[in-house]
Amino acid sequence: MHDALERPLYLDHNATTPLREEVIDAMLPYLREHWGNPSSGHVYGRRAKQAVEEARAQVAGLLGASPDEIVFTSGGTEANHLAIWGAVTRPGAGARIVTSCVEHPAVARPLAVLEEEGAEVHRLGVDALGQVCPQQAREALKGGAELLTVMHANNETGVLQPIGELAEYAHRAGALVHSDAAQSVGKVAVDVNALGVDLLSVAGHKLYAPKGVGALYVRRGVALRALMVGAGHEGGLRPGTENVASIVGLGEACARAQDDLEHEAMRQRRLRDTLFELLCRELPGVRLNGHPQERLPNTLSVRFDGVSGDALLAATPEVAASTGSACHQGQTRASAVILAMGVPAAQAAGTLRLSLGRATTAEEVERAARALITGWKRCAAPRG
């Protein structure tokens, strides 16, 4: 038990992932030997520059893009800001933006700032399965728009949005299309041409690369305003000396993900479904949040009857997972994402997000299920 408490089963891969050993190995030479500035003309700089460009090609390969369409950033949040604030340059002139009500704060907050500056932001609702209705989007876009930004996969439920259909309607309305794909890249196939996006954000630490590195796909011909000015790094869109080792790590992570994407997705999907079945077999009132099929293969958002997610995690220290709720002044507030799907607040507060990863095993899934079942019984036991 002591070891379980010191090293609980990690089912929070949607929060962050450990670095793959291959990623660490790829990065080390650029921390030890090849430490040159990529902008320098001598051999030290040329080696670093070559590594950055090789990584750019690796990221592009996973996304079905061209290398010159990849801009390296400090992570998904910066990529989202560059896409949104870079595309909507005149919010005070009545710019119109269409988004969803279930976006990550890295999208929702910059949109709120634009709204304060005079832009009109139309937020699409979701259905009971957590998906945006394309027909509602089409209606919202009829008046025209500068930008449509809808996440590819929700970070809490794993639900995949119909980005291809949304993009078609948005382009007819003259809008650029951005998608925050931080959660989906490396877990499911993400092809920028199949999706029809103009801009797409990547976060390294969600796919076994380091924290502090990400990328923005920018379709050729799309003009963005840079958020910072300086030297002409990253096509003039992101000045500052490149974080070479981390960029190399992101490239390696993308290349490795591409190697076994389909097989690993199938493996994690089986484990995810087994975990749900084990919980349902023993506990009353367990319910799935989100679409039963159209979601990430590693993600299980499930609500437990009669307990809060926070209390259940506290009673199950053997499992490291997360809730979508927020605790304020001793009271638990249910996740806005789950509430947007029409789940009553009392039920939504019982939600846990259990997200699996490459190292998750069948034995760990069985142990996690047993621990959660025991924890629920402990929480739900009537007080004498």
For residue 204, the 8-state DSSP code is G
Asked if residue 253 lies in contact with residue 207, where contact means CB atoms within 8 angstroms, the answer is yes
- Bridge partners of 332, per DSSP, are 327
Q: Dihedral of CA 206/251/59/85: which sign? A: positive
Decide if 59 contacts 70 (C-beta within 8 A): yes
DSSP state of 325: -
Among candidates 77, 18, 29, 83, which has minimal Cα distance to 54?
Answer: 29
| Distance (Å, whole) CA 213 – CA 219 | 20
CB 268 within 8 A of CB 298: yes
Tokens of 383: 């007080």
Angle, CA of 99, 102 and 108, to the nearest 5° = 60
H or E element in which residue 178 lies:
strand 176-180
Q: How far is CA 302 from CA 48, 194, 283, 321, 347, in A?
A: 45, 30, 12, 12, 10
327 catalytic residue (yes or no): yes
| Set 101, 254, 280, 327: catalytic member | 327
Does residue 131 contact residue 158 with C-beta atoms inside 8 Å? Answer: no
Residues 34 and 254: their CA atoms lie apart, in Å, by: 21
- Residues forming the active site: 327
